[in-house]
Amino acid sequence: MMTIPYRLLLRETACRVLLASGTDAGEKVFTARSMPSEAKQLPQIALQVPIDRGESFGRSAPGFRRVAYLVAVGKVSHSSAEKTELALDRLGSQIEYALMQSPALQGMIQQVTEIDLRVQIDASGETFLGMVTVRLGLEYSEYFELTGLPLAEIGGKMSANGNDDFADLRVTFPNQ
């Protein structure tokens, strides 16, 4: 049975939060979508989790302190650089506050490790295209369930001072 990775659950929750929050993108909040857009399709928001890093808790059951980097890319288009920048500031703030103030999203994580917001404007076409990127580091813990037969017994032979048959070792684990 394949389990849905937690990073994708975080992304889909963030999508629902942004759809419900009433951003300027309205219903145009997407996941698993190609990034290029036409000006008539804007404003819109696309969500991805391009990086998910894990650091081991140690030499025990496979458990990790993970940080999923949720990236929300908001795009706008206007007739002037000033209007585009103001629209980007507004959309970026809407994204940031909706995600940071969402009990649904915040309840799924231990903390937001970082926020990175970047704005970019392209004036090469007939209209000004703007893009705001909001990246949140979402920390959570993940433990992987071991599959297969459980360890029932460990056996071995010990040797000492040239005696290859010094002692036997047998440890039996109770059924769980």
Q: Decide if 52 contacts 69 (C-beta within 8 A).
A: yes
Q: How far apart are CA 62 and CA 59, in angstroms?
A: 8
Q: Are residues 138 and 65 in contact, defined by beta-carbon separation less than 8 angstroms? A: no
pLDDT score at 7: 95
- Angle subtended at Cα 84 by Cα 78 and Cα 89, rounded to the nearest 5 degrees: 145
DSSP string spanning 136-149?
EEEEEEEEPPP-SS
Q: What is the pLDDT of residue 34?
A: 60
Q: Please name the residue that has the structure tokens 């206007």.
A: 78
CB 99 within 8 A of CB 114: no
pLDDT of residue 4: 87
Using an 8 Å Cβ cutoff, are 49 and 107 in contact?
no
Q: Which two tokens stand for residue 71?
A: 């990236």
Looking up tokens 């460990």 gives 154
Alpha carbon distance 166, 54 (integer Å):
44
Q: Residue 172: CA atoms inside 13 Å, Cβ hemisphere, count? A: 2
21: nearest Cα among 9, 29, 33: 29
Q: Spell out, as residue ranges, where the chain has pLDDT lower than 70.
A: 1-2, 33-37, 176
pTM greater than the 0.85 cutoff: no
* DSSP structural state of residue 27: T
Please report the pLDDT score of residue 36 as a whole number. 61
> Side chain identity at 121, as an amino acid letter?
I
